[in-house]
Structure 1
Amino acid sequence: MRFFDAFRRTVRCHGGETALVAEDGRTFTYAELDDRSTRLANALTARLGDGRCAVLGGNSPAVIETMVTGHKRGAATAQLPFRGEAEEFVRMCESADATGLIFDDDNRETAEEVLARRDFEAAIHVGDADVDAAGVESYEDVLADADPTLDEALPADGECSIFFTSGTTSRPKAVPFDGEQLWYGAIQGVMEHGIDRTDAGIVATPWYHMVSSDAWIYPHFVAGATVVLHSDFDPAGLLEQVEELEATGLLAVPTQLDAVVDAQQSLERDTSSLEYVRTGGSVVSERLVERMSEHVTDRVYNTYGMTEAGPNLTFSLPEDQQERPGTVGKEAHTYEIRVVEPVPVTEHPDPEATVDAGEQGEIIARSPGCSTGYIDNPEAEAKSYFEDSESGENGKWLRTRDVARIDEEGYLYIVDRVDNMFVSGGENVYPVEVEQALETHPAVSEAYVFGVDDERWGRVVSAVVVTSEGESVTEAELDEFCREESDLANYKRPREYTIRAEELPRTSTGKIKRGAITDQASE
């Protein structure tokens, strides 16, 4: 089955129900979303044929329409991450071989630079601002002039969406998905949260991320529920949306949830309608779960995934968070997960070499909803995807490069990235483990750990520590805390600290930009 087949069923059954609520209060029914995406599909097919279309915009009805349009055309919508520079977007459009570009007012200036550096067969602008580029058409005019009846050659099978990896340590890679793969992800989200057509879920993370699209927007559409758009993150505004719309669901990364809790402590909005809050992207601390439970809702679901995997690889219920702090749960619906003996990136791990309970290993996974490769990077594809004798209908194995510990009941705990591990005195050090220990100190809000060269030990542990608002701490106090209060082995204990009040730079999914911090600390 394809996602679009499920979407058409929703339109037939719930065409008059609200599909989208924009941040400015505008609403769109499923029938309207279907009509507008059909018009856009016909318009893009007339201009691009079966060419791909890149989209540069914030969370808005228009970008959601482009998502559905990709499924109708069978020609991918390339979902550009708007937090970037023109040069990077040009490379992404080249990687995706995008022949069209749709952009909004907020990204107009960047889009103008992209249009000046790359030729497109069509460029369409969403908004009212003046555009300094030739041949750019108005989005609303394009829709108004288009045929409202879907072209008889559509819907077509093929790629529907292209997502880009976060690029925290390397250049973003283009990952294509077809309608069947995205349907598996959508139905997985429905099953995990029990979404039905009475739900209204707010998406506070950027639409272009896999978790926003395939783990949130698509599941709500499959169920006939309402998606509430939140664009420029504002915790007070988000809480207002929850209260006024009686939202039942919320998708936000941990750093956003922390800000929501801070705002809620003074605003005291009514959040009793919230039945499921989905988070992930970075470590979900025990302290965050406790704060959310006290001030917002105790229905926090933790997830773990990556762009290549579709919506998520594992899923942790609120009860799991309380009973097993830090767990990312067990394998998600449609997925098979194994924790195996880690090997260098130049080799493929053995799927049969699973580790025992209590041990650490690398996560590998497969699912019919998983991607099967990259568009433009065969070298990286060969390292990330591999087959074995059991492959075939089960699909290729995806190598995550994430190290996890598995307990006796099969619950996973992410330890770190294989790529982040370094050796100190012959022992493996995983930075995230040390970061989590430091973040239990009452004066520490977040920490970043990395290895620095040392003549005696090869490398030793160095930490950048961010203090909580109104708090202070010394290097000596942190060292004593690691010695006396944590379970860190001596070789994992930081030998030097950088203490600051400035927050760590993160991606839009809440992941630490490790390279940027290491460069700053080394200056």
Structure 2
Amino acid sequence: MAIIDFFDRGWRGNPQGSAYIQDDRHYSFDEVGQQSCRIANALLAEGFPKETKSAIWAGNDVNAWTCTLGLWRANMCWIPVGARNSAEENRYVLDAFDCEVLFFQQAFADTIAQLQPQLPGIKRWICIDGEATGVAGSVSLNRWVENQPADRPQLAVDLDDVIMVSATGGTTGAPKGVMNTHRSVQTFCAHFLLGNAYAANERPVNLAAAPMTHTAGLLSLPCTSLGGTVVVVTKPDPALLLAAIPQYRVTEFFLPPTVIYRLLDIPQLKDKVDFSSLRYFMYGAAPMSVEKLKQAIETFGPVMAGGYGQTEAPGSIAFLRPVEHLDASGNVASDERLSSVGRPSPLIRCEIMNDAGEILPQGESGEICVRGDLVMKGYYKAPDKTAETLCNGWLHTGDIGHIDAEGYLHITDRKKDMIISGGFNVYPSEVEQVLWSHPAVQDCAVIGVPDEHWGEAVKAVVELNAGQEIDAQELIALCKEKLGSVKAPKSVDFVQALPRSPVGKVLKKDLRARYWADTRRSI
């Protein structure tokens, strides 16, 4: 299937039904489908070929997501850019991944106008929600598509055409572009459709509370394929999402553990909100506390659904289904089970390998490796990096783990230094570059440390120049300015000297050991 087919399947079966709801405004499948066709036809009329890189700079918004559907309908490639990213990070991604079409909301027009001279590759600027006079050459979406037909364009689609280039990071701190295709994203959707228990005529209600540029967008596709409804929450406000669950009888949604912890901190939550409609409360993107998971099962019911994936194998390497959170007697499962990420998904092969690329016996620890249609096509314009990660048909995830006697996958550590804080990837070298720019800093190391709220918190360990003094908050503020609040350290420790190897390399493993010594996990 082409990626747009997942929306069109629901459109054909439920044309007058509500595909999306935002701020009590209902958008029918007909309305969204026809607008996405106009967008696709406008792109094709301007001569943009397949796999043209396009981006939408916006928060959670139905009209913004309709633009994503429109560019997919034209068999173009979506570059997700986060509304909460720093302007410089988004500029880098748009430039490095050769963006040619940018859709944006008026709220970001001033920032985009400042960046425009640094983005010479963008040929078309489209404001989703009106006119943006400060952005040279821009046009409003409605004016741009007003004369376009609402008919589906007939295009030949190859399943290996690239339809997403998503930014990730690396050891140098510069984001790589992960190329996912119709094939890999359809496999992601198939995993969710195979795993759910919806009846043939049952229409789910999906709550898009997390960023649609992160996880919630892709998770909306299986829902709309069944003719279901996606309720879009425009602000990261727990009160809004809690109110939406009983109001719209939400059946499924995803949140990272850090947000779940915030919900669990609300007194008498179980008595305040009716959660009876929930079938799947999905969590992932970061490790979740077993104790918090038990509390979540008690609060929300036996509906928790864990998942494990990465950008290179989107979102569905393994699942821990709701029933697997319970034992045969219906009681909460063992800590061993709850600490797993579930069993590998059916449309992939998952094995544990040693450094020589040999498959290890069940129960032994090594690198988690995956093969199958879920796996990315490669990194954009980075064949050397692609060759390092895709070896003999296997994706080397960089995660260390094992598969237990019951077939459950456990992640115990990471080969790479990446930090997952609140469900977002943070690459230490990127933060270190900012810290090194301060004149008082001699050297530094950024690591993830255990945090009850965030799963992992970003910590900077800093060695100052002789005679220098600086307040930790000044360094944190500097990182927030350059990188945004997600990547900024939550705390800074000052040391006389960082631990180093004989050749002078900072030993992050030794640093991390100090903070993880009293925990059962190293991730």
TM bucket normalised to smaller = 0.7 to 0.9
Secondary structure in structure 1 of the residue aligned to 2:100: strand
Q: Does the 8 Å contact 1:124/1:137 carry over to 2?
A: yes
Counterpart of 1:32, as a letter, is E
RMSD of aligned residue pairs (Cα, Å): 3.3
Aligned residues: 431
Secondary structure at the residue paired with 1:34? Answer: helix
Specify the alignment match of 2:108 in structure 1: 107
- The aligned counterpart of 2:467 is none
Partner Cα distance (1:44, 1:156) in 2: 19
Shift in Å, 1:298: 2.7
5+ residue gaps, structure 1, are 344-348, 388-395, 422-430, 436-448, 450-461, 469-497
Distance 1:92 1:283, change over 3 A: same
Kept in 1: contact 2:302–2:323 (CA 8 A):
no
1:212 to 210, 213, 216: 216
2:96 partner amino acid: S
Matched, 1:329 2:342: yes
On the 8 A contact 1:286/1:325 being kept in 2, the answer is: yes
Distance in 1 of aligned mates of 2:448 and 2:187: 41
Instruction: Write out aligned runs for 1:428-507 (5 A).
Output: none
Which of 286, 293, 315 is the equivalent residue of 1:289?
293
Structure 2 distance, partners of 1:218, 1:165, is 22
Q: Does 1:313 align with 2:312?
A: no
Q: Deviations over 1:75-129 (max 9, x none)?
A: 1121112222233222212232111111113333332233232132110112247
Distance 1:271 1:126, change over 3 A: same
Matched, 1:270 2:270: no
Structure 1 residue 17 corresponds to structure 2 residue 17 = yes
Query: In the alignment, which residue of structure 1 is the partner of 2:126?
Result: 124
Answering whether residue 82 of structure 2 is matched by residue 81 of structure 1, we say yes
Deviation at 1:36, TM superposition (A): 0.7
Deviation at 1:186, TM superposition (A): 1.0
Matches within 5 A, 1:139-288: 139-153=141-155, 158-165=161-168, 170-195=173-198, 197-209=202-214, 211-214=215-218, 216-263=219-266, 265=268, 268-288=272-292
The 5 A counterparts of 1:326-365 are 326-341=339-354, 343=355, 349-350=356-357, 352-357=358-363, 359-365=364-370
Counterpart selection for 1:397 from 366, 379, 394: 394
Task: Provide closer, same or farther for how the CA distance between residues 34 and 264 of structure 1 changes in structure 2, counting only shifts above 3 A.
Answer: farther
TM-score with structure 1 length normalisation?
A: 0.75
CA distance in structure 1 between the partners assigned to 2:61 and 2:486 by the alignment: 26
The alpha carbon displacement at 1:420 in A equals: 4.0
Q: How far does the alpha carbon of each residue in 1:166-186 deviate from its partner, in whole angstroms, 9 at most, with x for none?
A: 669832221222223222211
Matches within 5 A, 1:366-445: 366-387=371-392, 396-420=393-417
Distance across 2 between alignment mates of 1:292 and 1:168? 35
Q: How far is the alpha carbon of 1:256 from its aligned partner?
A: 1.0
C-alpha separation in 1, matches of 2:406 and 2:257: 26
Give the AA of the match of 2:147. Answer: D
Name the aligned partner's letter for residue 55 of structure 1.
I
Secondary structure of 2:287's aligned partner: coil
Whether the aligned pair in 2 keeps the contact of 1:72 and 1:156 (CA below 8 Å) is no
What fraction of aligned residue pairs are identical, expressed as a percent?
Answer: 23
Contact kept, 8 Å, 1:337 with 1:366, in 2: the verdict is yes
- Counterparts of 2:416 and 2:164, CA distance in 1: 28
Report the residue type matching 2:225 in the other structure. Answer: V
Q: Which structure 2 segments of 5+ residues have no match?
A: 326-331, 422-427, 429-446, 454-471, 497-523
Q: 1:154 to 1:110 in 2, by over 3 A?
A: farther
CA contact (8 A) 2:113 2:136 kept: no
Deviations 1:206-247 (A, max 9, x none): 1112x3333x11111222211111232111111000011111
1:28 is matched with which residue?
27
Contact 1:248 1:276 in 2 (8 A): yes
Task: Give 2:412's aligned amino acid.
Answer: V
Counterpart CA distance in 2 for 1:294 and 1:188 is: 27
Contact 1:74 1:156 in 2 (8 A): no
